[in-house]
Amino acid sequence: MLAITAHNLTRHYGDVIAAQDVCFDVEVGEVFGFMGHNGAGKTTTLKMLLGLTRPTQGTASVLGHDVVKDSMEVRRVCGFLPASYALPPDMTARQFLVYVAAMFDLPPDVSHARAQVLLDQFGLRAAADRKLRGFSTGMLQKVGLAQALVNQPRVLLLDEPTAGLDPLGRHELLEMLGALARQQQVTVMFSSHILSDVAALCRRVAVMHHARVIACGDLEALKAQHHAATTDDLYLNLVRKEAA
């Protein structure tokens, strides 16, 4: 069974082409990498998958739910960590997670229990009742990922989750994502322009460049096909081929 399918997904904003004929599939239970430079169209594609942006044309589904016709059901089964977001500085980590849980109509006792589980899981127990304004970037990113898991999603969409983190923070976050996929059987799709992060977690990838998917498939097979020793080499070879 496929967790995500996208077929010719396109989004135009007037004369601006944000995504054009985007096609890929994501298998249930995998960690799927969505590579590309800033502005390539990755965020627009993720927003279309979540029903936050309506496609100009094309279709997509998440666990069999059409992203346009069944957008509310898609959001119920998904967790989302956007690339840019602002957490409420005067809330504590616990208050924020309980607040997000309430948005999914979880009863108060369940919301508090779910918040505690996530605080423990992300090593935030000691900081649970501190205001978010005093959190480091890495701690805020952990809270962001925790909120994406409050509803126990079957599909997790992450937009540039390691951007802005120091090497230790990136390593910890990647370890957490790998563990989530292994232990909870969550399908993870994450976008990144940090190609080494994609290579560390993903067997299959889609490469976006100037609003289009220019390659999709098994990462090692793509590297062999395009005579690339590293993921960075693969990306550069694909971009040069497009420009030729």
pLDDT of residue 84: 82
pLDDT of residue 222: 96
The domain in which residue 80 lies consists of: 2-84+152-243
Instruction: Report mean pLDDT in 10-residue bins for the chain, 244 residues.
Output: 95 96 94 92 96 96 96 94 91 96 92 95 94 92 93 94 82 83 82 89 94 96 95 94 86
Residue 65 resides in a domain: yes
In the chain, the number of structural domains is: 1
Rg (alpha carbons) of the chain, rounded to whole number: 18
Residue 94 resides in a domain: no
Residue 17 resides in a domain: yes
> How would you label 152-186 residue by residue, b for 16+ Cβ within 10 Å and e otherwise?
ebbbbbbbbbbbebeeebbebbbebbeebbeeeeb
* CATH label of the domain that carries residue 49: 3.40.50.300
Helix (H, G, I), strand (E, B), or coil: what is residue 68?
A: coil
Residue 187 has which token pair? 């399908």
What's the pTM value of the predicted model, to 2 decimals? 0.92
pLDDT of residue 165: 80
Strand partners, 204: 32, 218
Residue 96 resides in a domain: no
pLDDT of residue 184: 63
How far apart CA 55 and CA 20 sit, in angstroms, is 10
State the burial class of residue 14 (Cβ atoms within 10 Å of its Cβ: 0-12, 13-18, 19+).
exposed
pLDDT of residue 163: 78
pLDDT of residue 194: 87
How far apart CA 215 and CA 223 sit, in angstroms, is 11
Residue 225 has which token pair? 């096909």
Residue 123 resides in a domain: no
Residue 146 resides in a domain: no
